[in-house]
A and B are shown apart, each in its own frame.
Chain A
Amino acid sequence: MRETVPLPVPLLLLACLSFPGCSDEHDGMAGAGLPVIEAPETVRFGTSNPMVTFDPHLADTGPQFSSYLTLVYDGLTALNLESPFEPHPALATSWAWRDEKTIDLTLRRGVHFIDGERFDAHAAKANIDRLMALKGPRINTVASMYAADVLDEYALRLHLHHPDPTLLYNLGLSPGLMVSPAAFDNPDLDLNPVGTGPWLYDRARSTLGEILHFVPNPDYWDPGFRDAPAVDVHELLNNRARLNALISGQIDLAIVGPTEAAPARDLGFAVTSRANRWFGMTILDRAGELTPGMGDPRVRQALGFAVDRQAIADAVYFGYARPTSQPMAPGNLGHDPELESFFSYDPARARALLDEAGLDTFTFTVPVVAGSVPEYEAVQAYLRRVGIDMRIKVIETGSIAAIARSRDYPVNTIGYPNFDPDARHPAIWSVTAGFNPFGYEDPRIERLATEAFQSLDEQLRARNYREYFNVIVKDVLTLVYLQIDDLVIYDADKLTGVRVGRYIDPMLREIRLKRGTNALAATRVDPAAAAASPAACAEPPAFSSGSIQTC
């Protein structure tokens, strides 16, 4: 007779698995796939953005992907969060404008790619030549540059079509990241990076779509990274899964939305944020061809006065957003403090503007991705109170850009970055912009932007862009309701130096383990080098300039 297994036995086995004591291994794996205890020297980051390519010249650094690249590559410059257009030195230690269309870079000596190749002006020129030949997603951000000349082994000259005050900033993003020229023809360069960065990608231990392992590069040129921890990047697409992983100790920091940040804060985790994007609507049908009422600035202004921004910031974003009326965030080029509250919450005025325009009711449709429906439903409710019927059409996430390029809707709802007017003008408001499908032209903003973009005079640029955004706001070419935060939650007992970057991700290069949680890493420091850099970095090092910064 066959033996049968009593029903409770499998259940008991399942219960047993819940207790590490039942485990056949006691290797410190408190969770399942994610190491928890045995690797205290590792920073474990939960991201929503899957790695797409390690080839920086074919990568789109905005709004995602950049964090992977900055671990394994160095740029000619490095992002300065506080002042993006004054980048930090990196592989270029200094630069000088020879004239308005020529810039000379002095390159760092003693740097080698991980394949042993030397970094010098020839390597830098080869990278720039490759960048321009490949014409990747970000080529338009360095389109002013047409050639690079080697002046000597560590001096490079860049030739521009026109003055470009944003070039150095963009050379700190993917276009300026340096790949070993010997690896240009590697068929798997997109999966196997060959840079000079402070971390090495451990491809053998990594699984795309699940976890990417990065280990410190022992030969990295900047001693400020000697205490760099290993970094594991966990690709967890679901916001709630990332929060759960943090709570259960499987990761140390995560990108989340406001819905997850609020409970994380209540549970004692630290929340850091940066207002990187705006929430609102960009008016595509600015002449009212598709929706006649939209051609009247008074109607568009009514859309602004009808909405209680603070209420939406509190109720939908849990406070991780701030009311505003302008696209550019405070401290950024083009921001005008006087525009901040241009649209107050004034439904009576909104109604009066509609009456002035001769409209009893006004109906239009907005395309909204599923994840943004709640905030647009809140706007919808406010608009309804003044007689505006805003209909929401839910669209696929991947189709939002294509729809914005079409003439199917009078507005688009893309939340653009809020700090880089030089990049926004040609994408959104210019007569030739991809997201200006009706070809609307405003000579004022064309002139102001062209002058600003081609000038190295910061005062002129500030003045022009301030005037530019006065037009954008008052004529309501884009209607902005809120500046919204990108959010990172983290275990503050373990990590220090966590800051949100300009593109959703945290500044991974800066994150360090707090003293006492990084014992293994501390033992790796070479005594001689430690003598040269006696204080271990409690805070992350800023990018070193010509002289190496020690902590």
Chain B
Amino acid sequence: MLKLLAARIVGLAPLLLIVSFLTFLMLHLVPGDIRDIILGVDATPEQYEELGEKLGLDDPFVVQYGRWLFKAVQGDLGTSAYNSQTVVDAVLDTLPVTLSLTFGGMLVGIVIGVPAGVYAGLHRGGPVDRAAVLGATIGQALPNFWVAIILVIPFALWWQLLPATGFTPPTESVTEWLRSIALAAVALGTSASAALARQTRGAVIDVLGTDYIRTARAKGLSERTVTFRHALKNAAVPIVTTIGFQVNGLLGGALIVEQVFGLNGFGSLAIDAVRTQNIPIMQGVVMMGTLVIVAVNIAVDIAYGYVNPRMRPA
């Protein structure tokens, strides 16, 4: 396990280098100029030139990137282009929001999708199976931001049971934290549960058709033992893989859903950074997003080892 972690960490450095370079390049290709946003519409051409010199915008792209990289390798991701807020502070302020939504959505997805998939797989062809397949198809077809908008109307606006906007950190109140992410998590979890239900159903059906399940039944084991001890354990690998994919997908989906709920997460930070050409913040968002996704992938690899010991690294 340690070898796995070490290998991933060693591989992280070139990955971050490539991602940072491509991000910097893409941000420079985005139309617009930060000077217009800082100076406003009434700025004179002289102000425009002076600010360009001050921000180093006239330097070649490679020089600008090199300057950023030199500081980044020393742990300094810089400050916002508009004020003295550090990129690290901006990221740390917003990361808990997006991670709460992502993992809340994943929890909803697992809680609904896995049992539904298992039940449908165990009762293949039955009415519940058909309903689960139909529900999963619909669930995957619904855009999560649309689900979010629909959920807000009854739960937040009509009945005012849950908040329409805002985030409470779990450090302030666990209950309020759950309330603040509940609608967003359900909105995100809808598509995740649909994907998980389909994958789980397929994996369970595959496993139930294997020789060792037939052998287990032939040995006279109870259906409960066959299902929980043999079938589900072996079906877990593709389910874990799907969970890993879904977490990464939910991270992206959370960026959009944050807008619906007015949450100050990674999405809001990223959108505002792009809108205002705030390159240091955008670099920080992408770097942190990369780290989160790598961490999720490592967690999935570790989970493989637990659900199937044969997959543990030597």
Contacts and interface: CB of A to CB of B under 8 A. Distances in A.
Contacts of A54: 83
Contacts of A11: 111
Contact of B44 (A19, A140, A209, A397): A140
B160 A249 contact: yes
B45 interface: yes
B236 interface: no
Contact of A50 (B39, B168, B174, B272): B272
A235 B156 CA distance: 19
A414 B45 CA distance: 18
A25 B173 contact: yes
A32 interface: yes
A244 B165 contact: yes
Interface string B28-64: 0011111011111111110110100000000000000
Given A244-B165, A398-B37, A238 B44 contact: no
Contacts of A423: 42
A191 B90 CA distance: 13
Interface in B133-183: 149, 152, 155-157, 159-168, 173-182
A517 B268 CA distance: 33
Nearest to B281: A209
Contact of A238 (B38, B156, B180, B260): B260
A135 B54 CA distance: 12
B264 interface: yes
Contacts of B161: 18-19
Interface string A301-329: 00000000000000000000000000000
A140 B262 CA distance: 36
Interface centre among B159, B166, B268, B276 (most CB of A within 10 A): B166
B272 to A, nearest CB: 6
Given A208-B93, A248-B157, A62 B40 contact: yes
Contacts, number: 207
Count class of interface residues, chain B? 35 or more
Nearest to B182: A17
Contact of A209 (B32, B94, B152, B277): B94
Interface string A86-119: 0000000000000000000000000000000000
A234 interface: yes
Contacts of A234: 165-166, 262
Interface string A374-414: 00000000000000000000011111111101000000001
Interface string A48-92: 001011110000101100000000000000000000000000000
A38 interface: no
Interface centre among A62, A139, A250 (most CB of B within 10 A): A250
Interface string B173-202: 111111111100010000000000000000
Contacts of A395: 31
B276 A32 contact: no
Interface string A1-39: 000000100110010011100111101011111100000
Given A25-B176, A29-B173, A209-B94, A399 B43 contact: no
A250 B37 CA distance: 30
A396 B155 CA distance: 34
Contacts of B180: 31-33
Contacts of A55: 83
B182 A18 contact: yes
A297 interface: no
B47 A32 contact: no
Contacts of B112: 7
B174 A24 contact: yes
A209 B157 contact: no
Interface string A223-257: 00000000000111110111011011110000000
B247 interface: no
B128 to A, nearest CB: 12
Given A31-B164, A399-B33, A402-B31, A237 B272 contact: yes
B165 A250 contact: yes
Contacts of A140: 42-44, 47
A273 to B, nearest CB: 22
A434 B43 contact: yes
A399 B31 contact: yes
A248 B45 contact: no
A427 interface: yes
B90 A208 contact: yes
B31 A247 contact: no
Contact of A191 (B31, B83, B176): B83
B40 A209 contact: no
B163 A34 contact: yes
A141 interface: yes
Given A52-B82, A209-B269, A237-B262, A32 B163 contact: yes
A209 B31 contact: no
A191 B155 CA distance: 36
Interface of B: 30-34, 36-45, 47-48, 50, 82-85, 90, 93-94, 111-112, 115-116, 149, 152, 155-157, 159-168, 173-182, 186, 259-262, 264, 268-269, 271-272, 274-277
Identify the 10 closest CB pairs spanning chains A and B, nearest first. Answer: A32-B180, A33-B166, A241-B262, A401-B36, A399-B32, A398-B32, A31-B163, A210-B264, A32-B163, A18-B161
Given A18-B161, A60-B40, 5 more contacts: A17-B162, A237-B272, A398-B32, A402-B33, A426-B44
Interface of A: 7, 10-11, 14, 17-19, 22-25, 27, 29-34, 46, 50, 52-55, 60, 62-63, 135, 137-141, 187-188, 190-191, 207-210, 234-238, 240-242, 244-245, 247-250, 395-403, 405, 414, 416, 423, 426-427, 432, 434-435
11 contacts: A52-B83, A135-B47, A140-B44, A140-B47, A208-B85, A209-B264, A209-B269, A238-B260, A250-B165, A426-B44, A435-B41
